[in-house]
Chain A
Amino acid sequence: GDSVTQMEGPVTLSEEAFLTINCTYTATGYPSLFWYVQYPGEGLQLLLKATKADDKGSNKGFEATYRKETTSFHLEKGSVQVSDSAVYFCALSDRDNFNKFYFGSGTKLNVKP
């Protein structure tokens, strides 16, 4: 079945450092891919998405490229801020059934001033 694997955290970085959070997926067909962010005590918010191979999703300085050949959707940001501290979830929606949704286990990011 479909699944998403993320790098384990926590990831601790200094402000202005470069961020990469790895995400790989297993799916039949061509799923849509998402990154969601969860701030402490809140629900999840969509950060970015990509719906087909080679698409790049971007938002708030974060980027991720849909790589079909490596089944990956790694999240990157060139310069993190303390306010980026949160838990980040990679997710996919099943292309055969758009209503089914699969999340990774989440990666906690701590950014120190």
Chain B
Amino acid sequence: EAQVTQNPRYLITVTGKKLTVTCSQNMNHEYMSWYRQDPGLGLRQIYYSMNVEVTDKGDVPEGYKVSRKEKRNFPLILESPSPNQTSLYFCASSLRGQGAQNEQFFGPGTRLTVL
């Protein structure tokens, strides 16, 4: 089954404790992206990747890191999480070519709480 998976689905952590949210897709997509969803703000793009070893900032990259060492994986790293990073996070992927122009397939989301 074609899908985007995220782990963990739920995470409660404390300020300053480094964490990684994993994202994996099995559709051989070149484009992958991370978003955060907050009430009243919709989804905001954090980082995106056009291919292996090619990443760039979205609208709200501060406090986040990403890496793309393999085509299928695109982990989101919070080196020192803070309470304002409490949010619902979505990973998405799409076919090559024009990145987000193509249909994006979303993962189920990761709900992160930073105390």
Interface residue ranges, A against B (CB under 8 Å): 4, 6, 32, 41-46, 49, 51, 89, 91, 93, 98-106
Contact = CB atoms under 8 A, between A and B. Distances in A.
B108 A103 contact: no
B27 interface: no
A27 to B, nearest CB: 13
Interface of B: 4, 31, 33, 35, 40-45, 48, 50, 56, 58-59, 90, 92, 98-101, 103-104, 106-109
A89 B108 CA distance: 16
Contact of B101 (A42, A51, A102): A51
B33 A101 contact: yes
B101 A32 contact: yes
Contacts of B92: 43-44
A93 B104 CA distance: 11
Contacts of B50: 99
Contacts of B41: 105
Given A45-B106, A91-B43, A103-B35, 7 more contacts: A4-B42, A42-B109, A98-B100, A99-B56, A100-B59, A101-B58, A103-B43
